[in-house]
């Protein structure tokens, strides 16, 4: 008889623990989205390249560039996940079909195919595109840049 009660009480305790855990998981707030996002608000696909100057002030430039991120119309992507570590980020985008570019005055090395380039060195099979700087201001968590 005691064994039956023990088994019954153990099963009941397990059910209460599982139910309590499920309720706690349902109530837990979702973590805030963190990072630097870009959104394509054009009517067609664009290709995006990103870059960062990782050097400390007063030291030689240490540019890291990566691409290409393909974004369909109305699509967004997080290019740098997590809390924003920098205030300034560099971007370049192009719509090959429409012949449009989002560019400015900062020459950064890229490649025709997917790439990750460290130190900004442009070797024979690579070329420069004119990136622009995005100032995220004092925002430490989430910043979104919209291509229009």
Same domain, 61 and 3: no
Average model confidence (pLDDT) for the chain?
82
Higher pLDDT, residue 68 or 26: 68
Radius of gyration of the chain from Cα atoms? 24
pLDDT of residue 60: 65
Same domain, 133 and 77: yes
Same domain, 110 and 55: yes
Same domain, 5 and 64: no
pLDDT of residue 61: 78
Higher pLDDT, residue 26 or 85: 85
Same domain, 2 and 51: no
Same domain, 12 and 57: no
Same domain, 6 and 43: no
Given a cut of 70, whether residue 63 has pLDDT beyond it is yes
What is the C-alpha to C-alpha distance for residues 94 and 2, in angstroms, rounded to an integer?
Answer: 75
pLDDT of residue 45: 98
Same domain, 69 and 91: yes
The count of other CB atoms within 10 Å of the CB of residue 52 is 19
Same domain, 103 and 70: yes
Given a cut of 70, whether residue 130 has pLDDT beyond it is yes
Same domain, 25 and 55: no
Given a cut of 70, whether residue 5 has pLDDT beyond it is no
Same domain, 26 and 59: no
Q: Which domain holds residue 99?
A: 35-147
What is the C-alpha to C-alpha distance for residues 59 and 19, in angstroms, rounded to an integer?
Answer: 57
What is the C-alpha to C-alpha distance for residues 91 and 104, in angstroms, rounded to an integer?
Answer: 9
Same domain, 25 and 94: no
What pTM value is reported for the model? 0.75
Domain count, the chain: 2
- DSSP for 71-116, please give it: E-TT-EEEEEESS---SEEEEEEEETTTTEEE--SEEEEE-SSSEE
């Amino acid at each position: 008889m005691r064994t039956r009660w023990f088994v019954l009480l153990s099963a009941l305790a397990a059910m209460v623990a599982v139910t309590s855990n499920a309720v706690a998981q349902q109530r837990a707030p979702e973590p805030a989205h963190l990072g630097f996002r870009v959104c394509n608000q054009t009517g067609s696909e664009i290709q995006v390249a990103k870059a960062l100057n990782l050097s400390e002030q007063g030291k030689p430039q240490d540019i890291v560039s990566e691409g290409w991120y393909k974004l369909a119309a109305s699509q967004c992507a997080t290019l740098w996940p997590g809390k924003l570590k920098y205030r300034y980020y560099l971007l370049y985008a192009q719509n090959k079909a429409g012949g449009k570019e989002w560019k400015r005055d900062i020459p950064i090395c890229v490649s025709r195919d997917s790439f990750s380039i460290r130190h900004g060195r442009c070797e024979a099979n690579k070329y420069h595109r004119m990136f622009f700087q995005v100032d995220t201001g004092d925002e430490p968590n989430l910043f979104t840049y919209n291509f229009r």
